[in-house]
Amino acid sequence: MKVEPIQDNDPNYPPLEEYVVELHVPPAQQPVRLDVYVTEAIRHATRTRVQEAIEAGMISVNGHAAKASYRVQPSDRIVCRLLRRPPIELIPENIPLNILYEDEDVLVVNKPAGMVVHPAHGNRAGTLVNAVLHHLGMREPITIANSDELDDDSESLLLVSAAVRPGIVHRLDKDTSGVMVVAKHEIASERLARQFADRRVHRIYRAIVWGVVRHDEGRIDAPIGRSSRNRKLFAVVERGGKTAVTTYRVVERYPFATLLELKLLTGRTHQIRVHMAHIGHPLIGDSSYSGDRLAWGGLQSKHLRTRAQQCLETIHRQALHAAVLGFYHPRTAAYMEFLSPEPSDFVQLRRQLL
């Protein structure tokens, strides 16, 4: 059975744990392949992982090893010895926060690039949530139930336990910098989450994209779904996607790049990155969506190609910054707006483009 690479003493990659699932086939069960039956019987199991477990001898039928093609019979006893990651613990960590505003209901922070918002498999420590928990005075770890059943990129990780606070009502990608609001209690969380759902939150992003964007303003209305090439990435899709709308305005044009201000009318994962790549202007430095190479065909001169390569060496992430966040205070209903200055790598990239 394939096992994830584990780094010694790395809290993000704890050793896998074995657990046993015993299945008793009901008398009325129709004959079906063993791998199909086990996949359907165990929640969140995938057929590929089940087949790997069978090949490794970790799944037996009536006390004997069996092949994936074995036809399950009524009253069979199937024992599955499987590996899973231990539950995620939210451990308060004394990590400095750049706080823009704080009261008894909300905390507004300026998240740096490189910081993950909430713990997930492979990012169990050093996240914004770990830092905020410590800031709020918590010291004891909080175990998230059933965290082994969640995907690495699950956006609802913190929603599986009502005891988990603070309330993460929106998120930024790991390598996106900028302003975020965190709810300190359940009522604030519910009211802020409703604002995001009802699109009453004002958000402006700044991005530097490859190529000279032709129109001064534009609107991208294209549904987004899982990429068929890589399930951890997203793409504009013709069927099965979710509505996604982004508007943009040109702030400044450079010889081979453009500085944009963008507004989200919806909040899909990677929305700006996917939409800009879709129209042929990927974000500079975006390794997931073709922005980590010279992605514009107008670089005909050696001088421009050299400058473009220097830009890639300046910013080691997607050039995306959450510059403005406005919302209505969950207690007073007063409108509040916060600005996050461009981080140093973003500023340096702009200078190189002049």
The set of residues, in sequence order, having a beta carbon less than 8 Å from that of 111 and lying 6+ positions away, is 98, 117, 128, 172, 176, 177, 178, 179, 180, 322
| CA–CA separation, 169 and 220 (whole Å) | 25
The set of residues, in sequence order, having a beta carbon less than 8 Å from that of 92 and lying 6+ positions away, is 130, 133, 134, 138, 139, 140, 141
Q: 3-class SS at 89?
A: strand
Number of alpha carbons in the 13 Å side-chain half-sphere of residue 333: 0
Where does residue 295 rank: exposed (0-12), middle (13-18), buried (19+ CB within 10 A)?
A: buried
Q: Are 270 and 320 in contact (CB under 8 A)?
A: no
Q: Are 171 and 117 in contact (CB under 8 A)?
A: yes
In one-letter notation, the amino acid at residue 299 is: L
| CA–CA separation, 248 and 214 (whole Å) | 12
Where does residue 229 rank: exposed (0-12), middle (13-18), buried (19+ CB within 10 A)?
A: exposed
Task: Based on the residue annotation, tell me whether 152 is a catalytic residue of this protein.
Answer: no
The residue annotated as part of the active site, out of 35, 76, 148, 173, is 173
Q: Which residues are catalytic?
A: 173
